[in-house]
């Protein structure tokens, strides 16, 4: 599959493969037909290829289509007829929408709005004029698919977002090729700066090339000396938490040890012709007593203890432990009503569940009992449990786990070193765990952050800047006219990825990402789309989400995996050009997948293998207005 078709295929699967379920959104415009009347003013209504029973408050004609708006989805879905005018097709429904808005739309405008209604994209009346303006300003390939994705994913309807998706859909850039070009360009530069060396170290992480022990120690030495020169402690604190440095050692002692050694050995760093950082060091002379292997083991172990990846998540865990300590020491009367409500609503967060799963079996059961007591508002029982000998031991274990979480700048530092250790000693854990760790690190190390060139001059950049920040810093050092094309194109990739992250919707979060193919041994870059319910700590709810992967595998070639999770129940759809070829390969793996999911308290509902080629049809293709009914829901809708 050409890279430009990846996003189109994701969109087509969303539209064409709804799994027989009708999904409506408040404010959404739909067309509905009354197919049968029942007593008590009820009728059977068809929306697209779905049928449902509705309560009629408006007199409608049988077997006629009307334009309707979803007024409410919970607890009872309500639909409102927007015009008593019968519509014969989606074009007439679109014309009615435009007339209601006082817009005299051209033929192209009508066709655009009709495509939204036909494909049941949740368009709202208030979005119509913005969409028409974007369509007029951006004629070209896949225009309709881009606009439909913006609405479907509730992204801002502005030019910047359109450009971002258009770049990904119509002008995809190879991440891997540009990383390789950047490395070569860095290697050809005559003047070396700290920022160029850091950018070279970051580039090496995403190149897919194995990193040897000398490179690991070279990078560590540079980073340690760079931070000591600024008086920064990020790497020192990370290594101390990971057990590489004694808790008895102070930063001043650490700093003095490295400064004396550096001066004695006249340490110098430079970039070789391949854009890799090198130095004049002998690795058996370092002032530390741990090897690259020990560094790798400690970082991986420390990373396995992490249950949070954002400061907000860590703050929530710390607040939970603070309220539990107050409950333990002062009893229910010592915890305010706000505090009790907080504990009741927060004890089932995914980060809390992850932390509990790390406890020994006996403490894990006790923690689950505590969860149950707090969620059922039984604070007296929870207080007794926490003050028992076992409860006190549980609190100590949980407090230690929270203390072991990387905080502040340590989180970015951990992602950097975890990514480096993966290139040094690829992990042997499950593919999904590896994939998620790599994706987390990639997003952290490439995220957008505020930038001021003056910070470079004053040597005040973060200890572990994002790759975007480093590219801006190096660009400033080179001058605008000399910025390499690879750097500009990588910046476009990062902007496209992070612009697509939508957290403006209170209840949900959505984002896309592109990862370099070399990290996973693929033929092409890995593309992923995430969407799901948003938790209080800002993360995607792991039991209410949808993840789509595009993989170009060495043997199986193009494969799309669509994983939908509802209340912990997993439906897996796999799309491939030769489903019959895939079925005998997937079938033996299904029992193991089901068992692994059960261990994580998920249930595998279904695994289906479907033809990919059928999903590549443009989402704007015309469908017959009257479609066969594929499901019947006995749900009352009020019109």
Q: Is 474 helix (H, G, I), strand (E, B) or coil?
A: helix
Are 525 and 174 a contacting pair, CB within 8 Å? Answer: yes
Residue 147 has a CB neighbour count (10 Å cut-off) of: 26
pLDDT at 501: 57
Residue 60 has a CB neighbour count (10 Å cut-off) of: 20
Rounded CA-CA distance 565/602 in Å is: 9
Residues linked to residue 547 through DSSP beta bridges, in sequence order: 530, 563
Rounded CA-CA distance 225/210 in Å is: 24
Q: Is 273 helix (H, G, I), strand (E, B) or coil?
A: coil
Rounded CA-CA distance 407/234 in Å is: 10
Are 526 and 520 a contacting pair, CB within 8 Å? Answer: yes
pLDDT at 389: 95
Spell out, as residue ranges, where the chain has pLDDT lower than 50: 3-4, 19, 429-430, 616-639
Report the candidate in 469, 471, 475 with the shortest Cα–Cα distance to residue 444. 469
Are 445 and 270 a contacting pair, CB within 8 Å? Answer: no
User: In the chain, where are the structural domains located?
Assistant: 3-162, 175-306+407-483, 311-403, 493-624
Pairing type for strands 540-553 and 526-534 reads antiparallel
Rounded CA-CA distance 553/198 in Å is: 32
Pairing type for strands 269-271 and 569-576 reads unpaired
Rounded CA-CA distance 407/306 in Å is: 10
The first and second tokens of residue 46, run together, are 């068809």
pLDDT at 328: 95
pLDDT at 481: 63
Contacts of 266 by beta carbon, 8 Å cutoff, 6+ apart: 280
Are 514 and 526 a contacting pair, CB within 8 Å? Answer: yes
The first and second tokens of residue 126, run together, are 């208030």
Q: Is the pTM of this model over 0.75?
A: no
Report the candidate in 67, 261, 274 with the shortest Cα–Cα distance to residue 181. 274
**b/e map of 148-182 (b: 16 or more CB within 10 Å)?**
bbbbbbebebeeebbbbbbbbbbebbbbbebbbbb
Rounded CA-CA distance 464/550 in Å is: 30
pLDDT at 617: 40
The answer regarding whether domain 493-624 maps to CATH 3.30.750 reads: yes
The first and second tokens of residue 490, run together, are 């990588």
Are 66 and 639 a contacting pair, CB within 8 Å? Answer: no
Give me the residue label for tokens 């004695």.
264
């Amino acid at each position: 599959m050409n890279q430009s078709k990846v996003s189109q295929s994701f969109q087509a699967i969303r539209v064409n493969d709804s799994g027989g379920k009708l999904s409506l959104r408040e404010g959404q415009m739909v067309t509905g037909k009354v197919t049968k009347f029942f007593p008590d003013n009820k009728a059977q209504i068809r929306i697209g290829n779905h049928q449902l029973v509705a309560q009629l408050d408006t007199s409608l004609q049988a077997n006629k289509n009307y334009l309707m708006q979803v007024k409410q989805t919970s607890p009872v879905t309500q639909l409102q007829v927007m015009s008593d005018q019968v519509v014969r097709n989606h074009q007439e429904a679109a014309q009615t929408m435009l007339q209601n808005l006082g817009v005299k739309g051209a033929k192209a405008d009508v066709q655009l709005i009709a495509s939204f209604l036909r494909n049941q994209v949740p368009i709202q009346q208030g979005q119509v004029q913005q969409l028409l303006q974007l369509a007029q300003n951006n004629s070209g390939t896949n225009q309709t698919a881009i606009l439909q994705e913006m609405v479907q994913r509730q992204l801002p309807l502005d030019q910047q977002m359109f450009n971002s998706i258009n770049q990904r859909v119509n002008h995809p850039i190879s991440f891997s090729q540009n990383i390789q070009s950047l490395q070569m360009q860095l290697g050809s530069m005559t003047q070396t700066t700290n920022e160029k060396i850091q950018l070279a170290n970051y580039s090496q992480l995403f190149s897919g090339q194995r990193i040897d022990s000398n490179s690991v120690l070279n990078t560590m030495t540079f980073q340690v000396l760079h931070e000591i020169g600024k008086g920064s402690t990020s790497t020192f604190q990370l290594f101390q938490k990971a057990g590489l440095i004694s808790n008895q050692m102070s930063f001043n002692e650490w700093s003095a040890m490295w400064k004396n050694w550096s001066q004695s050995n006249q340490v110098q760093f430079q970039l070789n012709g391949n854009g890799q950082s090198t130095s004049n060091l002998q690795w058996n002379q370092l002032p530390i007593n741990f090897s690259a292997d020990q560094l790798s083991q400690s970082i991986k172990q420390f990373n396995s203890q992490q249950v949070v990846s954002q400061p907000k998540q860590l703050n929530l865990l710390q607040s939970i432990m603070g309220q539990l300590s107050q409950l333990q020491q002062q009893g229910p009367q010592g915890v305010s009503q706000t505090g009790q409500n907080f504990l009741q609503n927060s004890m089932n967060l995914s980060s809390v569940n992850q932390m509990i799963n790390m406890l020994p079996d006996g403490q894990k059961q006790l923690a689950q009992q505590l969860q149950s007591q707090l969620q059922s508002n039984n604070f007296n029982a929870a207080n007794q449990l926490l003050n028992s000998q076992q409860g006190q031991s549980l609190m100590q274990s949980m407090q230690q786990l929270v203390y072991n979480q990387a905080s502040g700048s340590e989180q970015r530092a951990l992602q950097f070193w975890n990514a480096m250790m993966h290139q040094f000693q690829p992990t042997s854990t499950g593919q999904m765990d590896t994939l998620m760790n790599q994706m987390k690190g990639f997003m952290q190390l490439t995220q957008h952050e505020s930038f001021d060139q003056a910070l470079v001059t004053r040597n005040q950049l973060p200890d572990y800047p994002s790759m975007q920040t480093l590219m801006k810093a190096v660009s400033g050092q080179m001058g605008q006219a000399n910025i390499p094309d690879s750097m500009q194109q990588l910046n476009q990739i990062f902007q496209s990825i992070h612009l697509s992250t939508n957290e403006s919707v209170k209840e949900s979060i959505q984002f896309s990402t592109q990862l370099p193919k070399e990290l996973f041994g693929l033929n092409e870059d890995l593309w992923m789309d995430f969407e799901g319910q948003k938790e209080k700590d800002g993360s995607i709810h792991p039991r209410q989400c949808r993840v789509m992967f595009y993989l170009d595998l060495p043997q199986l070639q193009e494969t799309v995996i669509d994983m939908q999770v509802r209340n912990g129940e997993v439906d897996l759809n796999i799309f491939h050009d030769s489903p019959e070829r895939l079925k005998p390969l997937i079938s033996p793996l299904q029992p193991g997948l089901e068992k692994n999911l059960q261990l994580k308290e998920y249930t595998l509902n279904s695994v289906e293998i479907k033809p990919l080629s059928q999903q590549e049809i443009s989402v704007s293709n015309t469908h017959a207005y009257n479609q066969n009914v594929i499901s019947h829901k006995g749900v009352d809708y009020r019109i």
